Amino acid sequence: MKIYDISRDLIKSLPYPGDEPPRLRAVHRMKDGESYNLSRLETSMHAGTHVDAPLHFIADGKDIAAMSLSAFVGECVVLTVPKTPLDAMYFMKRPFAPRILLHGKGQLTESAIGYLYNQGCVLIGTDSQSIGSYSDELSVHVALLGYGVAVLENLELRNVPDGRYMLYAAPLKISGAEGAPCRAVLISDEEEPQA
């Protein structure tokens, strides 16, 4: 078994343009004579590796706490994609799993989103900061989230070969939040090299 940590560090990853960077502030420190260490975290729900809930782009959509965890645990496929629009035909020629992680800058088209939903896709992830393009954030998010397809963003897929894996990427349970950070990992049947 081989485990890939595909999460970006919440504090060290670049914030989305316009967002403030996350801050970790020391509240109590043992080096200052306290009996314990305690920190306070201030962050956007969309910093580091995170999940978008429907509420992020749909006014009456589910918050992150109401989303089913089943979307975030299970079989997935990692695909390296070209920097072009990705339509339904593109995905018809590729391996399918209910969870698809995209490595690269390809942008989903409306036909791809409909096709993937009809095939039973429950989650789309990307190693980009957003599943939508910077020029068209809204339509891709609204289409995916409207279908109930979970969106997992800002993954670290550089060292992950294309293929099939088990995904574990549960978001933090935060009532009323439109998204949440998560720790995402992939597990393959491949053996870990012996030292």
Active site residues: 56
Among residues 75, 77, 69, 46, which one has the least CA distance to residue 157?
77
Which amino acid appears at position 143 of this protein?
A
| Adjacent-strand bridge partners of 24 | 41
Strands 50-52 and 150-153: antiparallel
CA–CA dist 73, 167 (Å, integer): 5
CA–CA dist 109, 11 (Å, integer): 32
Q: For the beta carbon of residue 89, count every other beta carbon within 10 angstroms.
A: 11
Among residues 130, 110, 154, 156, which one has the least CA distance to residue 57?
130
- What Rg do the C-alpha atoms of the chain give, in angstroms? 18
CA–CA dist 147, 158 (Å, integer): 29
Q: For the beta carbon of residue 28, count every other beta carbon within 10 angstroms.
A: 13
Q: What single DSSP character describes residue 183?
A: -
